[in-house]
A and B are shown apart, each in its own frame.
Chain A
Amino acid sequence: MFRPSASLLFLSAFIFLPFLRAGELTFMVLPQARVEYEGTGYREVPSGWELKVKPWTPAGGIRWRTDFSSTLGFQVQYWMNRPAYAIEFGNSAGESSAQEGQMRLALQSLWVDLRRPLAGSPVEAVFGVNGLYQTIDQKDMVYHGKPEAGSSSETQTGLGAHIGIHAKGGRRPRGQGPALFWDGELLIGHYFVTHNTLTSEDGSIHQGGYTYNGRLEGGLAWPRWRLSLGYTRQMYEIFVPGGRRFTPGASESATASLPINKTDIFGTFLALGWTY
């Protein structure tokens, strides 16, 4: 189940960050983010191959950066979507869907990293750790035309490391007006530890995964405030021992979890930044 209380607790931690050190706090809002989930791989009850859901949901992120020195920065960024049920379809290839239902995907990711400039360049190398927490809830399942009672809830977590680059630039204002600025980064990561709740005993690809997080934004900057428009594209592919059937023990059943889970989240965001 999506646990809003845990997310709010985590988000509230960002409120206290400004009291720790001077830095930049940025809020990013995607009113309509595209979230695309594709699950593939082994399942206990053989049927089809792909399971997909592609809802439009609001999403957002918070980014906090502080500088330990002129050549070492530290950043924490947290992203989440506002989940909602959407139709899932799939397990078919050119034929009528074998499995349909409602799926709600809730994704949260946290990226913590250090940033150091390249010699003689303002471009920074980024290296750090990241985590993923994803829940997949299903209900109103219909498998081969037969309704299945009940619901399911799968939770997937991943912990890994990432490397990337960050660059920014700007133009000084004329007179008293705001400056123009741009800021972008691209991070590529690998999951070393993954876990899920609806496990199955068989399957092949059980552990690992990879992720990327890209962001590019531009806008206006005042001495303490920044307003910008940007685009983010993120992908989270996590491998777990999934494939559990929806109805325990049933010989014919939909699939409630899958081993190879790929979630893309992307869209345009509006950001407000505060330097304090």
Chain B
Amino acid sequence: MRRFLLMGVIVFLALGATASEFSITVAPGAHLSYRGEGKILPQGYVNRFDGNTAPLYRLEWMQDARPEGFWGIGLWHTGVFGGGTYGKETLPDVTTGGTYQSNDLNVGFTNLFVTYHRPLEGWPVEAQFHLSVVREIFKRKAFVVTGTSAGGVDDVNELSAEGIGFGLAGTHGRRLYFRWQTAAHYYVQLFDAETDASAGSIFQGEAGVGYRITPKLALEFGGLWQDWFILGQGNRRLHLENTDGAVISYNRNQTVLSGLFFRLETRFGK
């Protein structure tokens, strides 16, 4: 994972040297809340999670803006790698009225978007068509199951999906500008195409105010919000002696991320 991200950063920087627009967005204190529902019987159906805080990083590369359309790539990442914290997750037990399991959890993701941009006729707004591969990562540690600590056992569980999306974006102003962007994506899990490949959705929205320091350098501050629903194979358990196992996956997963960001945009060439 680290090698992939490092390679990705190098590729992006190399592309940035030849590209027309390259930007880095960081939301240093992005908050992530996660809700899971699954057939976790006999204990119940749901988890409880306090949420975790983690920096969100986004690297974007775009070609020259042109009326006939242009392409861009975006890579989003948040998680333990890069400074994310853990939050407390618990699994209530409806048979006893207490808590079956508690553990620390960090929810992160690495998502890749390939985007075709095309301006709308006569408006300072562009339409976007996205293809994406998304991957959500659940890191759990410090398991306590039915009052018994599992020691140093930890787990990493991942969900992935592929999808398409549509978006709109606009930048208004010259030196001082207002930028906004929104997108809705629909996902499938191709491995499950024989039964039901439908795998969820991501909705994104962001807005910011920026200042163009030079024609080729801009700094922007704003906020973003993302609501992500993804399906998974639920009720997977980590084997722990003398217990029903530690639950490490849910069938339905809703993750909401929000935070303030700063964005540095550079332009190369003309």
Contact = CB atoms under 8 A, between A and B. Distances in A.
B is a partner of A: yes
B240 interface: no
A121 B67 CA distance: 10
A118 B119 contact: yes
Interface in A81-140: 93, 116-121, 125, 127
Contacts of B165: 188
B227 to A, nearest CB: 6
A204 interface: yes
A212 B200 CA distance: 11
Contacts of B46: 42, 202-204
B185 to A, nearest CB: 7
A165 interface: yes
Contact of A239 (B67, B164, B184, B254): B254
Nearest to B163: A188
Contacts, number: 111
Given A119-B120, A190-B184, A262 B198 contact: yes
Interface stretch (A3-11, A13-21, A43-51, A168-176): A43-51
A31 interface: no
Interface in B16-60: 35-39, 41-42, 44-48
A235 B198 contact: yes
Contacts of A204: 35-37, 45-48, 254
A41 B203 contact: no
Contacts of B211: none
B123 A259 contact: no
Nearest to A187: B166
B118 A119 contact: yes
Interface in B234-270: 251-252, 254
Contacts of B122: 71, 119
A270 to B, nearest CB: 27
Interface in B169-209: 182-186, 198, 200-201, 203
From A71, A186, A188, A189, residue with most partner B Cβ within 10 Å: A188
Nearest to A164: B166
Contacts of A262: 198
A188 B251 contact: no
Nearest to B251: A40
B10 interface: no
Given A41-B45, A118-B119, A118-B120, A46 B185 contact: no
Q: For B67, B182, B200, B229, which residue has the most chain A Cβ atoms within 10 angstroms?
A: B229
A234 to B, nearest CB: 12
A182 interface: no
Contacts of A71: 121-122
A162 B161 CA distance: 21
B118 A121 contact: yes
B136 to A, nearest CB: 15
Interface string B125-149: 0010100000000000000000000
A260 interface: yes
Contacts of A116: 120-121, 123
Contacts of B129: 165
A239 B183 CA distance: 20
A262 B254 CA distance: 15
B38 to A, nearest CB: 8
Contacts of A237: 201, 229
Contacts of B153: none
B168 interface: yes
Interface of B: 35-39, 41-42, 44-48, 67-69, 94, 118-123, 127, 129, 164-168, 182-186, 198, 200-201, 203, 227, 229, 251-252, 254
For the complex of A and B, list the 8 residue pairs with the smallest distance between their C-beta atoms, beginning with the closest. Answer: A210-B201, A204-B46, A49-B39, A190-B203, A125-B127, A42-B45, A163-B166, A188-B184
